[in-house]
Amino acid sequence: MWNQTIMKHPTALAFFLAPLLFAGVAFGHGGEEEAEAPPATIYPMTQIGLPEASMGHDHGTTSGDVVGHTRDEVAALIRDSQNEENFRSTVRLVFLSFCIIGLLFVFYPRRRPSVAVTGGEGSAQTLPPTNAAP
């Protein structure tokens, strides 16, 4: 029965197997690296809304009244958390993909064959369009 189901919905399945294969290739290329360090400059335009946000500094050069962490310090502080979040995001996406594939098997709209009417009437009748939902 599963073979028949797959044979009936090759197009729909292709829409979802492709991202999963892509994910496998993407992960085959390895994990995280640190983002490249930008020029040692402070960007005032991003320092908005949160006065508690202290200014970052690089190579011992500070600006503003409050001294914050360096880029490397922040990177070290958030590395574990970010790796964990990346892993969790991937798990969610894989789970979502499988759930959507399951929905495809359950709800994919199929075209039912026409039913011919026998006896006095000569014309074929088509079943009324139906959806799975009420």
Partner 1 sequence: MLSTLHKLKFELQQIGVVLGGLILLLFFLLIITGTLLSFFYNPEPTETYRSMTAIVDNPFTSFIRNLHFWSTDLFLFTLFLHMTRVALTKPSGRLRRYAWWIGVGLFIMVSTEMLLGTFLRGDHESLEAYSHFFLGVTGVVGGYFPFISVITDFFSGHVALFRFYIFHAIVIPFGILSLVVLHGLFAPTFRALLAPWKKATDAAIHGESAAEGLTPRPGLLALPSVRKLGMLFSGAIVAIVVLSLTLPAPFLTEPTAGIELTKPPWWLLWVYALENVWGLTPLAIAPPLLFGIYAIIPLLTKDRQGADLGVYLYLTTIAVLIALSFWAAASKPVAHTEHFVAEQAAHAH
Nearer to partner 1, 35 or 120 (CB): 35
Any contact of residue 77 with partner 1 (CB under 8 A)? yes
Q: Helices 71-107 and 10-28 sit at what angle, rounded to 10 degrees?
A: 160
Contacts (CB under 8 A) with partner 1, residues 17-76: 18-19, 22-23, 26-27, 29, 31-36, 38-39, 41-43, 45-56, 68-69, 71, 74-75
Contacts (CB under 8 A) with partner 1, residues 102-131: 102-112, 127, 129-131
DSSP letter (8 states) at residue 36: P
> In residues, how long is the chain?
134
Could you tell me the end-to-end alpha-carbon distance of the chain, in angstroms, rounded to an integer? 26
Any contact of residue 3 with partner 1 (CB under 8 A)? no
